[in-house]
Homo-oligomer: A and B are copies of this chain.
């Protein structure tokens, strides 16, 4: 069975996001004063094959903790959906 996992990694609330600040300033300079706070994170799509849904979920959580997110400054969440074999 194949799965498509979508992982969202975001800076924790209260953690400074200089990349977001830079984008906010650029948008103001381009003429979009309506833009307030901007936060920038990562969006990952992973294909997982030959695992059960339960196993996929548990192991993906491990991957996030070990590699995909820096838990000191980032939060993560994910969704797993059935996918055609890739």
Contacts and interface: CB of A to CB of B under 8 A. Distances in A.
A73 to B, nearest CB: 15
B26 A67 contact: yes
Given A40-B43, A42-B42, A63 B32 contact: yes
How many copies of this kind of chain does the complex include?
2
A3 to B, nearest CB: 9
23 contacts: A2-B36, A9-B43, A10-B43, A20-B44, A23-B67, A26-B67, A32-B59, A32-B62, A34-B48, A34-B49, A34-B56, A34-B59, A35-B48, A37-B45, A38-B44, A38-B45, A39-B44, A39-B45, A40-B42, A40-B43, A41-B44, A42-B42, A42-B43
